[in-house]
Chains A and B, each alone.
Chain A
Amino acid sequence: MLDMIIIDGLSFSLPLFIMAIGGIYSEKSGITNLALEGFQGFGAFTGAFVTVYLYGIFGAESSVPYYAGFICAVIGGGIFALLHALLCVKFKADQVISGVVMNILAMALTSFLTKRINASFFGNDANKFMLSASARITVPGLCDIPVIGAAFRDIYPFEIMILVVAIVMWYVMYRTVYGMRLRACGDNPHSADAAGINVYSVRTIAVFISGCLSGIAGMSFAYSVSANFSPDIYLGYGYLSIAALIFGNWSILPALFACLMFGFARSMGAAAIHQLGLPSSYNDLVRTLPYVLTLLLLVFFGKSNRSPRALGQIYDKGQR
């Protein structure tokens, strides 16, 4: 019971967390990112396609398709994100509109391509890529600790991947020159430019990174939620991670706590409802919690919640 709460909570929070980091990168550089939903979907699509393709070469038991799938999800999400960067940075489109359009485009493109690819590569007319179940890792020794041990039991390999990537991303954001420049671009692009930083390229890279990280998240959801890629992956988790990053005040560590809270609220709610013998539709009541909390936080602590100062502003070199 308690084990299930911890295992399910972690496998949901961590993908959410890596996507929220992606959002933080983009928003800290000054680009509003509502397109996370589309990025994760497109990443999952490329990853799932490569994985299913490699099943045919290496067999479904090999771990090559699994990791190759994740790498391709990262690349796919990143490349798709470049389109958002192109619209926002180069064409100076409104960032909110571009984000919404990216979501619509990702959904249309992936459902179209999934059908086409299934027809021409795999000779069926399904609208999804079936993945085999992900392997689970149990850390010997640590898993025997009472209660906390569950955190080391039945771990998806992607959870470890996400933690490693998250630490690297934290280091890049707060301890490197690029990270500092990125934060400067989000707060005051004009002085950043005056200091010799190329605002356009910093922002483009930031959006690219957010696409890459969302790709990891999308692929993880494809494994943990449904074990396939289908257009059903657009369940609004992208928006949930936006809520998490706002809740975390655009910083990585608080966002982790927000994601853990959302994830555990979800798994605890599900467990409680199961325990009380209520129908599973009551889960939907629990799922409103993250959004209600975020909204309340904004209402009551809106003053201390600081978004990057130049968030959403189109940067034009010639403008003062």
Chain B
Amino acid sequence: MRKFTQSLIAIIISLIFGALILWLMGKDPVSAYMDLLRGSGLMEKVRYSGRQNMFTDFMSFIDAMTPMIFASLAVALALKGGFFNIGVSGQMLFAGFCAHMAAMILPSKIAVVIVGLIAGALIGALIGWLKYRFNVNEVVSSIMMNSILMYLITFYINTFYINPVSRQSKSIISAARLTLSGFRWEGLKIDIALAFPLAVVTALFLHWFIERTTYGYEIKASGLSPNAAYYAGMNVNRTALMTMTLSGALAGLAGVSYFCGYLAAIQPGVVPSMGFDAIAVSLLGGNNPLGCVLASFLITVISKGSVYMSSRQNIDMEIASLVTAFILTFAACSSVIGRRRK
């Protein structure tokens, strides 16, 4: 409950900050914030273009939110186990890339999910293994892995897998894409995020896993105090490896639902910023799987709704990421975070 209050305070202060900036720019903050909700399909817009209404907006909002849920769950689980998974970005990129490759051989949605899951888990496991075998700090190795993977994948895409028009990778074929793009129903064109139910189920499952199973208890115990867990007879090293593998697998799911769902292509030369935003989202959600879903919802409202807001109010899109950054800063100030393994 205390965590919930802290997160709420962080959100409210940031929204006030954002309103202040909007007011200084001579805009009406209330109508700007309402436009955020309208852009996310949570309120009725004034006018819709053909084949669109509030429901289609809401569905594409869900599509944008799905990878964020997975990514924040990845961070939250790692933090429960005392690890700081700053490498979610790299794991997402790797998983998305592997899934793209797999889809060329085996164009099936299930294959994409499984390949992404395994690819992410492998990178997570590598980081966990380096930690307990060689005592390499997971933050440092994650940063190195992010850059290594980014450059390798950029190289491959630019050399063999580029779409010369969009300057991005080629698009994944629609048979393997996790978003049904432009699905016709009742005269509407809807984007359906097929991975969304999986995201919600995963969040519920993780909540049960952490709170109700022996493995979950071991993860929590090792995260709070590795020494105490060790003397209580737990296999701390195995738990560490398991935590990072699972966290990587979740990041992999985030990667496939982002690069093979919400987007259909990979942009070379950058790591997805979602991996870093997810750290803050998890923080905002109090490292609780269900909290993560709520926090993802909020952050996606801001990022997704900002497109509509900026076009309606003639405000720079950047204000949305600014408000998000404020939320993260205030959330970092409050000591919501569990103790990290030293």
B276 at the interface (CB under 8 A from A): yes
B34 at the interface (CB under 8 A from A): no
B1 at the interface (CB under 8 A from A): no
A59 at the interface (CB under 8 A from B): no
Contact B318 A112 (CB under 8 A): yes
CB within 8 Å of A: which B76-128 residues: 84, 86
Known: A100-B280, A291-B148, A292-B148. A281 touches B322 (CB 8 A): no
CB within 8 Å of A: which B118-164 residues: 130, 134-137, 139-141, 143-148, 150-152, 154-155, 158-159
Closest CB in chain B relative to A225 CB, distance in Å: 14
Contact A112 B152 (CB under 8 A): no
Q: How far is the CA of A287 from the CA of B147 in the complex (A)?
A: 9
Closest CB in chain A relative to B320 CB, distance in Å: 9
- Select the residue from B130, B135, B332 with max chain A CB neighbours within 10 A: B332
Known: A93-B333, A246-B140, A288-B147. A108 touches B280 (CB 8 A): no
Q: How far is the CA of A188 from the CA of B137 in the complex (A)?
A: 20
The stretch of B40-48, B51-59, B218-226, B323-331 in contact with A is B323-331
Q: How far is the CA of A190 from the CA of B151 in the complex (A)?
A: 42
Contact B328 A105 (CB under 8 A): yes
Interface residues on A, range: 35 or more
Contact A101 B280 (CB under 8 A): yes
Q: How far is the CA of A34 from the CA of B137 in the complex (A)?
A: 13
Q: How far is the CA of A285 from the CA of B149 in the complex (A)?
A: 10
B24 to A, closest residue via Cβ: A116
- Give the 8 A-B CB pairs with smallest separation, nearest first: A281-B158, A112-B318, A284-B155, A108-B325, A108-B321, A105-B325, A291-B144, A288-B151
A-B contact pairs, 14 of them (CB 8 A): A32-B139, A91-B333, A91-B335, A97-B279, A101-B325, A101-B329, A111-B321, A239-B146, A242-B143, A279-B159, A284-B158, A291-B148, A298-B134, A312-B340
Q: A residues engaging B (CB < 8 A)? A: 32, 34, 83, 87, 91-94, 96-98, 100-101, 103-105, 107-109, 111-112, 115-116, 236, 239-240, 242-243, 246, 279, 281-282, 284-285, 287-288, 291-292, 294-295, 298-299, 302, 307, 312-313
